[in-house]
Amino acid sequence: MPRKHTEVAVGILLREADGALLITSRPQGKPYAGYWEFPGGKIEAGETVEQALRRELQEELGVTIAEAHAWKVTEHDYPHALVRLHWCKVSRWSGEFEMREGQQMAWQQLPLDVHPVLPGAYPVLQWLSDERGLAFDPAYYDARQPQG
């Protein structure tokens, strides 16, 4: 029997001054705790992708996004869930960042310095690298993943 997708809204927050990307760590108690990811969360019944992303970023980070531009959709099969990721670019928000779930945040350029990175983000890192005329080497990220 096929597994049901978990629909997830994901924000690629781009800092206007230098194009840096906001990356957050997964909090303790969640699968892949300590891994770095783009922020977002599950889409609840009746929500649009943008509504879900707005709610999640307010709940988790304390910021309110102006608008989310739907960009790409990917799927990733993790051991704990089959996820469909709805990637949105966000360039404007208001409020001060608060890590409300005990996570960490980092503004990053490509390639990312933080690790480990959730494998579901690899396609987006590839596309962002392509947009910026940068090489993308998945082996760079694979080598920084925990082994075992």
The mean pLDDT of the chain is 95
Give the bridge partners for 89, in sequence order: 12, 69
Domain count, the chain: 1
Residue 56 belongs to what domain range? 5-142
Give the bridge partners for 41, in sequence order: 9
53 neighbors 10 (Cβ within 8 angstroms): yes
Residue 26 in any domain: the answer is yes
CATH number at residue 83: 3.90.79.10
Determine which helix (DSSP H) or strand (DSSP E) holds 82, and give its type and residue range: strand 82-90
| Proportion of the chain above pLDDT 90, given as a percent | 91
pLDDT in tens, 103-140: 999 999 999 999 999 999 999 999 999 999 999 999 99
